[in-house]
């Protein structure tokens, strides 16, 4: 159902508005190639979250094309979109990414419960756990000593790396990071992004990194601002 030569994200004339509200998003075109790392800058309230919800298949646009991995998301039913997200998209949030009642490895493998494709790809529970440990180690976490502790005791930087491991497990084609570094200090920020790049490259995942901070753009091979691609923002400003 997916094709490696196709763009990971292919948006064409996408329009989205909340009911009884003016259009929030109006994107003429946005293409992201497989394995590409893209920085997307946008201020809060610019429709950033909405775009991520669209890419994740939680929301559907009123019109236009929204293909992820060649699959038209609006043509899928809600449950199919949830399943598609579980199988092909990894998310990293700003902070508080972890479920306090699961341990380190449990938090990383959480998504595999909802994705038959990831389970199939990784094998049995032991293999899934092993891959989680491999990812955590690759992201610089000492699994053996941290596994025994509650995840709420981890530092913010450690928590974000656990979240990255969760997004990357099972090698989804697309990783979406929503302000993952805003709670980190400058040094940790650069180190985190570097690790994220490496692991995305290893997994072959495309990365969409969203932030309000334009200073980070220089770290990425390609950077966009939401205001550039979103015609609705310009119309709103003009009005």
Partner 1 sequence: MFRLALKSLLNRRGTVLLTVFTIAISTALLVGVERLRGEARNSFSSTLSGTDLIVGARSGAVQLLLYSVFRMGEPTANVSWQTYQEVANAPSVAWTVPLSLGDSHRGYRVLGTTQAYFEHYRYGRRQPLSFADGQPFDGVYEAVLGSEVAQKLGYSTGSDIVLAHGIGRVSFANHDDKPFTVVGVLAPTGTPVDRTVHVSLAAIEAIHLDWQSGTRMPGRGISAEQALEHDLTPKSITAFLVGLDNRMAAFTLQRQVNEYRAEPLSAILPGVALQQLWSLTGVAENALRIVAACVVVVGLLGMLTALLTTLNERRREMAILRSVGARPRTVLGLLVLEAGALTVAGIALGLLLLYATIAFTRELAASRFGLFLGLGAPGPAELVALGAILIAGLIVGLLPAWLAYRRSLSDGLTIRT
Residues that bind partner 1 (CB under 8 A): 49, 52-53, 56, 58-59, 78-79, 82-83, 85-87, 91, 93-94, 96-102, 110-111, 113-115, 166, 178
Minimum distance from residue 135 beta carbon to partner 1 (Å): 15
Minimum distance from residue 18 beta carbon to partner 1 (Å): 10
Of residues 114 and 185, the one with the C-beta less far from partner 1: 114
Of residues 67 and 178, the one with the C-beta less far from partner 1: 178
Of residues 207 and 218, the one with the C-beta less far from partner 1: 207
Tell me how far apart the alpha carbons of residues 94 and 192 are, in angstroms, rounded to a whole number: 13
Minimum distance from residue 163 beta carbon to partner 1 (Å): 9
DSSP string, 101-113: TS-HHHHHHGGGG
- Strand ranges inside the chain, DSSP E: 9-16, 25-32, 37-41, 63-68, 71-72, 89-92, 174-178, 206-211, 222-225
Minimum distance from residue 150 beta carbon to partner 1 (Å): 9
In a 10 Å sphere around its CB, with 0-12 CB exposed, 13-18 middle and 19+ buried, how is residue 164 labelled?
buried
């Amino acid at each position: 159902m997916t094709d490696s030569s196709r763009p990971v994200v292919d948006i064409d004339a996408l329009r989205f508005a909340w009911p009884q509200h003016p259009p929030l998003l109006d994107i003429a075109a946005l293409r992201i190639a497989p394995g590409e790392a893209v920085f997307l800058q946008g201020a809060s309230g610019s429709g950033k979250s909405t775009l991520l919800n669209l890419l994740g298949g939680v929301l559907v646009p009123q019109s236009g094309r929204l293909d992820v991995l060649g699959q038209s998301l609006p043509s899928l039913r809600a449950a199919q979109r949830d399943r598609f997200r579980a199988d092909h998209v990894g998310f990293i949030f700003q902070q508080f990414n972890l479920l306090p009642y699961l341990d380190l490895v449990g938090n990383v493998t959480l998504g595999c419960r909802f994705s038959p494709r990831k389970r199939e790809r990784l094998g049995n529970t032991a293999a899934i756990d092993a891959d989680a440990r491999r990812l955590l180690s690759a992201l610089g976490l000492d699994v053996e000593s941290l596994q025994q502790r509650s995840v709420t005791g981890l530092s913010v930087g450690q928590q974000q790396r656990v979240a990255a491991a969760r997004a990357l497990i099972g090698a989804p084609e697309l990783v979406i990071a929503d302000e993952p570094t805003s709670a980190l200090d400058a040094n940790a920020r650069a180190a985190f992004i570097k690790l994220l790049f490496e692991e995305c490259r290893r997994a072959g995942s495309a990365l969409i990194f969203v932030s309000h901070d334009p200073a980070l753009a220089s770290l990425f091979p390609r950077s966009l601002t939401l205001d550039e691609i979103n015609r609705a923002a310009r119309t709103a400003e003009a009005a």
